Structure 1
Amino acid sequence: MKYKVALICVVMWTALFSQQVIAEEWSPALPKTITLLHETKLYASPNENSFSGASLTPQDVQTAGAEADWYNPFFGIQKWVKIHTSWLGDQWVHIDLPEIGWLTPRDEFLDVSGDMPLYNKPEYGYTGATLTSQIVHTKGIFYRPMQSPTWLLDTWLGDKWFTPSGAMVIEGVSKVSPDVRVNLQGKASLFQAPSNQPYIPYATTIEPQILSAIAKQGDFYKVVTSDGKSGWVSNRFEQPADTETINIDILLKEKTSIYAYPNLQSYLDPVTPQTVHAKAKVNDIWGNTWFQIQTWRGDAWILHNEDTELNPNKIPNTNGYIDVFPKTISGDKTVWGRLYVVNLPQYEGYGGFSFTLQMIDKQGNVLASAETSVNGVRPNDDIPFTAVLDRFDESFTNYTFRLSDVKFIRSY
């Protein structure tokens, strides 16, 4: 028994020493601002006996320091954090580790797939209530160093906290009215999330049907199928119903990409130069011609315009990253369309980019231009954009567009 106790003491001492060494060598940055989530006492020093007699209501405060191991859960649940005050100078607060973070207000809906235990405080104070998969409203997200973010939910029990564990959370969805229907006229993919990429070739395929929508994000709709399957659909990932039946052979002179649907995001594989047999074709809204062929992956689509270029305009390969498909110019000089992000510069992360959309004539002269930007883009994204031209004249005819001044924004 003495040996066991001694061994335990040695192990505990070694663990404590290791933690101290780690704390001296490295520690995460203390947030410059933290959010006090409830009324919090102020102390003159990191000692419970130094209570100043003052308290702060829930608010954001600036930090001035913290105890050495404020981030380490092995040294107690409550941690001492020094903050700035306007009337008492620097003071200390004694708060739970899961509450060292900052609250970012939100007023949006989440699509949560999985169980949602509800807590009175971040990660503790379980209410005994658990929500199952559904669309919920959040008032904010609480970010914490070295810990998972936690959401403040608006529930029938009042404001409660939810920290995902084994649940998938999709932010920024919109609820739709009960009468919204999605008409799938061809076979379509049913995705777990409304992500533009990557395309998942093994996603569930559902038959043509009319579905009731629960929520929306972009051009994706959250639906429940007739056989009870839940997921997200988009008409872009649906086989077109208005195809033209053909029976022709097409000579592919170079390596050619094949797609599950007639859109650039549903990439499957390349095929080597060869002659393929096409049984159907369709034109997309941009004027591109797609042919359906039989492959080892089953029926697939190839983009095969006569001029081999994307229509109505493939931005010249001066930037090497983006294809732009402008569509309409309205009376207020607004251009809308879609951006297909072929790639991103190496090491730029998943940020966004700003750019100038130039309207040009056949000689390349600039007729008008518009500056705009998009956020949160990634390779293979297909996202909508709008831009307002600085001028537009009815004399502008036979124009096309190009990009200039593309500036990528790092996400870190």
Structure 2
Amino acid sequence: MMMKLKLFTFTVVAAAFGLAGLVSQAAADTIYGGSYAPEGLRFPAEIELLADTPYYAAADTYNTNPEGTFGPQTVHVLETESAWSIGEATWKIETMFGPRWIRPKPWEIEIAPPKRITLLEETPLYRSRNTKNSAVTALSPQEVEVTDAEKQWFYTNDPNSKAWIKVHTSWLGDLWALIPVKQIGTVHNVQRKAYYSNLPSKSELGAAMGIGQQQMEWAKPIEGDFEILHEFSTIYDRTFEVQTDQGKVWTRDKGVTILPTDEQLKIVRETPLFSTAFGTFTKENAVLTNETVTVFEKIVEPLWVGRGPYSVWHNSPWYHVRSSKGTGWVNKLVGDPESALPVHWKMAIKDPKELYRYPDMPFNNTTLLLRNQTMEATEAWNPPNGGSMWLKVQVDNRTGWIPYWNNGQDGMWDEDSQTIAHAANAGMNVFGTVITAQDSLQFFTGERIGYIDKDQSYLSLKQLAQRLHYEIRTTSGKDEVTLTKGDYAFDLQANQSSAVVHWKAGKGRKVLLEKPVVLNEDGWYLNLKDVLALFGVTQGFAEKDYSILESNYTVREADTHITVNNGRLELQAFVDDWISREDYKAGKMPPLQLTILEDGADGGAGHHTEIKGIVNQQDQSSAVTLFSLTTSRPLSVGTHQVDAVLRIGERIIWSKSIKIAAK
């Protein structure tokens, strides 16, 4: 049962829906999404609930039944969504039960008018809320006291719509003004420092808000670090008064906030010290390494720096520091990144790549384009914004960084292992969503694809072959069937609990099955666990239903001289794939495995196989895109014929026969 409550003390916080927009260093203060703390009229500090308002235990549970209902009352706001003034918004409420969420419609809330507003242009005043009567007087742009407002003065689908606001005059008493909602605003004090790259040399408040014919002067744009004195805010927008060297100007650009601080920062690796953190990179004042600096200012919002249309060092602060080599700005991701992983690889570059001084930071005066060259890679690093991996390389007596991406041309070898192949994810096939209907398995269309017997699921080989693109062939007069896809094939026999898998029509390898193969009047059927193994597929679950997912890979063979060391054969393969950081931490990996077989056997307990992601030390990257597969097994003294096999489940995607002597 829902309860209607009157709360005596609680706070409201908006749930964070959407992404806050990135602000360039010269952009207007456009607010795209996210949640914000109260600030002027733009984000109100109080709202009044006008109707019974359901509340929920979490921000994303609006499709569930509410826990209860709050009655009409005034609540205090800690944060709200940016779109609250034009549509439904989410508010988080702290109650005696703990945090709760509400989502009232705009017409179900009321906001008290501000106590004072600033008129931006000459404004007529009336005795009543009726423009058919003549205006009593008019006020020039100025700040006035507000005594009343029409109900829900703030709510409109058109920012150009007007609302009636009652203001106080010292000579005629209280009179009504009809003001565009987007111009109803207040001025309050702001004390913060910000960088501006392009301020007008002259601009009044009305001009900054685009009112009438008021103009801004741009003859000599102003750049620098300045104090922001005041902020004018409406329910839609904000404008700032900035104290420059040439006087005060108003602008809708909030600038890049420079925060005061007092902290120590350890610089471990080579990090340039710049005179400014803004604009394109210029030659540094000095290079810092292995010292602790004092930070007295910092910038924590993303900046557009370097080259390209996106912010390069997203979520990486800039620090204004005092160091042994002077005062300047540093960014711990502008330089050799501390979290880079040491590697010992060889690269053969065919696709043209530019050599950078640091990740995403080019050399100042020279450009070296690499192509058809072999070089040593000593470090690998994944940027936090999820872009290309970077490799630190040594080439032509120079050291720098190159971006790495899988293009099917470049070669890469791990010089501490014996790299035998390089696999790359080439996409995925989806068998479709399987749903359970009593003892039948079917698609959403109702098409039958299998059945359930004694809690075991069996799927049709015919359906699997059609949707996963296998050729299916039966032997006349025998209860046998063969499924083939490319160089991979497997043989099944009715009522048998084993299969034989093949690569390029070579000698088969026997594989034990979970359940016997079924052949009945409807065709061939295979137990679900055996489907996953023989077809090399995985399941993607959605509650009780699931999809069959087939990952496909292309494989390039590496030209490596293979040897046996200390009685063990060790091999390695690189894998290009994409796993989110969250899934990787949860143990999710590409489904590949690398094995070494001799006469179809892997060597038993002495065989070892492992897959690891190439991740940063103290990793904060958004995804893992490169993996290393390793495998090893003992080999006795003598000559051996072995097969290096890449597979998913029992499905072979690549195999290489190797003749090798163990000494």
Greater radius of gyration (CA): 2
Q: Same fold (TM over 0.5)?
A: no
Give the TM-score taking structure 1 as reference length.
0.40
